[in-house]
Amino acid sequence: MENINAVITGVGGYVPDYILTNDEISKMVDTTDEWIMGRIGIKERRILKDEGLGTSYIARKAVKQLIKRTHTNPDDIDLVIVATTTPDYRLPSTASILCERLELKRAFAFDIQAVCSGFLYALETGANFIRSGNYKKVVVVGAEKMSSIINYTDRATCPIFGDGGAAVMLEPTTEDLGIMDAVLRTDGKGLPFLHIKAGGSVCTLSYYSLDNQMHYIYQEGRTVFKYAVSNMADACESIIARNHLSKDNIDWVIPHQANQRIITAVTQRLEVPAEKVMVNIERYGNTSAGTLPLCLWDFEDKLKKGDNLILTAFGAGFAWGAIYIKWGYDGKKGRNWKLQCMGLGEAVFSGIGSHAECDAGPYAGAGRCSFGFKDTWECQPDSCSMELRAVSGKDRTGFFAGSDLRI
């Protein structure tokens, strides 16, 4: 019997529309754009500002896109794992809410809480369900509404974090691809240096805890920095050695997007050149469990089948690790979209591959989006279906206006 492994077959993601800039942060606390960029490497972060929306909304948007891109029947999904530190409620799980919102009728679901390492832990957990041979489609989500646990009068933490998340689909394969190996560690030494003091069973909600702002993240940055660099690098070196990899045959290192200086220190120790390192911290900040899958979502176009990826993260606990992935598909496939006339002045996208759906703008979620096209296309109402190739698959804001498309 052939060995079954778990391979990633698709990625979906979501970041909120609202952009919180460094200039706005500098009006809240004593800091500057120059200081934040120099010390952390963040220019802006996304914030979910809508009243009554939590992490499940971010997760739902990401998984909905994932389902579309992978052409998955929701009834075929066996399991949903959500890695988050900012659940909608203490109970029930955010994963259970996600099942209801997406009408996943056959799945079971649960949350994993390992803070910034949560996606690593969830990915290996989901892979083991696939390897058992009993599950065919497992959705793994890393999503956070970090703004809900940030004190925006605390200069040490408020510039760092943002909201967002992404999801991957795991499916069985007998090819030499997928989640190849994992090194995951927890030591518990980090409690004094990175925590939320109140809200758990040790220190419950009270007037005292509210008055003393004990429900927000507390961090001793220098200590966390030291442990993060050391442990992430150690985990990567361990997984590289036991899988006989080298800096030459590693195609991508995907580090947790906590701090640009941490990213630089870790990858320099691994002697991996900067062009092989995925970095989007400048645009999204630290989205905790969301950073790694958001990198996969952001850089999907650059990935090729068989690429060797090293994912690594470090978070509260301390909890850290690294995972070796052999990528399962060419990210650029599916660059052709089909446009169908739905009536005078209206057109709808359909297609597969990265960024085939509209993620932002007035038609977000409706499958309608603005791209630049190489040629002029004429479309008569109710009469045509044509293949289009986007000049820039990343330009996904707005709608069909101002392009060469005439309807």
For 117-128, what is the mean pLDDT?
A: 98
Examine the residue annotation and report whether 341 is marked as an active-site residue of this protein: no
Contacts of 390 (CB under 8 A, 6+ apart): 335, 337, 371, 372, 373
Residue 114 has pLDDT above 60, yes or no: yes
Lowest-confidence region among 203-207, 212-216, 272-276, 385-389: 385-389
Q: What is the CATH number of the domain that holds 50?
A: 3.40.47.10
Peptide bond into 381 cis (omega under 30): no
Q: Which residues pair with 186 in a beta bridge?
A: 319
Rg of the chain over Cα atoms, rounded to whole angstroms, equals 21
The DSSP annotation for 158-205 comes to TTTB-EEEEEEEEEEE-SS-EEEEEEEEE-STTTTTEEE-SSSSSS--
For 2-29, what is the mean pLDDT?
A: 97
Token digits of residue 336: 């052709």
Residue 366 has pLDDT above 60, yes or no: no
pLDDT in tens, 227-276: 999 999 999 999 999 999 998 999 999 999 999 999 999 999 999 999 99
Question: Rounded to an integer, what distance in angstroms lies between the CA atom of residue 189 and that of residue 70?
Answer: 41
List 116, 236, 358, 369, catalytic entry: 116
Residue 392 has pLDDT above 80, yes or no: no
Residue 407 has pLDDT above 70, yes or no: no
Contact in structure between 285 and 21 (CB atoms under 8 Å): no
Contact in structure between 236 and 270 (CB atoms under 8 Å): yes
Q: Which DSSP state fits 56?
A: H
For 34-56, what is the mean pLDDT?
A: 97
pLDDT at 2: 82
Q: Choose one of 180, 197, 228: the last residue of a domain.
A: 180
Residue 396 has pLDDT above 80, yes or no: no
Contacts of 153 (CB under 8 A, 6+ apart): 28, 29
List 286, 295, 308, 369, catalytic entry: 286
Q: Choose one of 160, 180, 200: the last residue of a domain.
A: 180
Examine the residue annotation and report whether 355 is marked as an active-site residue of this protein: no
Residue 367 has pLDDT above 70, yes or no: no
Domain with 390 in it: 334-407
Higher-scoring residue by pLDDT: 394, 169: 169
Residue 327 has pLDDT above 70, yes or no: yes
| Banded model confidence at residue 402, pLDDT cuts 50, 70, 90 | very low
Higher-scoring residue by pLDDT: 372, 106: 106
For 302-326, what is the mean pLDDT?
A: 98
| Banded model confidence at residue 1, pLDDT cuts 50, 70, 90 | low
Q: Is residue 101 part of a domain?
A: yes
pLDDT at 252: 98
List 5, 99, 231, 256, catalytic entry: 256
SS (H, E, C) 278-313: CCCHHHHCECHHHHHHHHHHHCHHHCCCCCEEEEEE
Residue labelled with tokens 């176009």? 301
Q: Is residue 392 part of a domain?
A: yes
Question: Percent of the chain scored above 90 by pLDDT?
Answer: 80
pTM of the model: 0.83
Q: Is residue 38 part of a domain?
A: yes
pLDDT at 344: 36
For 118-129, what is the mean pLDDT?
A: 98
pLDDT at 339: 43
pLDDT at 335: 39
Q: Which DSSP state fits 111?
A: E
Q: Which residues pair with 351 in a beta bridge?
A: 337
Q: Choose one of 163, 180, 197: the last residue of a domain.
A: 180
Examine the residue annotation and report whether 99 is marked as an active-site residue of this protein: no
Residue 374 has pLDDT above 60, yes or no: no
Residue 389 has pLDDT above 90, yes or no: no
Lowest-confidence region among 72-76, 127-131, 336-340: 336-340
pLDDT at 160: 98
For 120-136, what is the mean pLDDT?
A: 98
Q: Is residue 352 part of a domain?
A: yes
Q: Is residue 34 part of a domain?
A: yes
Domain count, the chain: 2
pLDDT at 332: 77
Q: Which residues pair with 385 in a beta bridge?
A: 340
Q: Is residue 317 part of a domain?
A: no
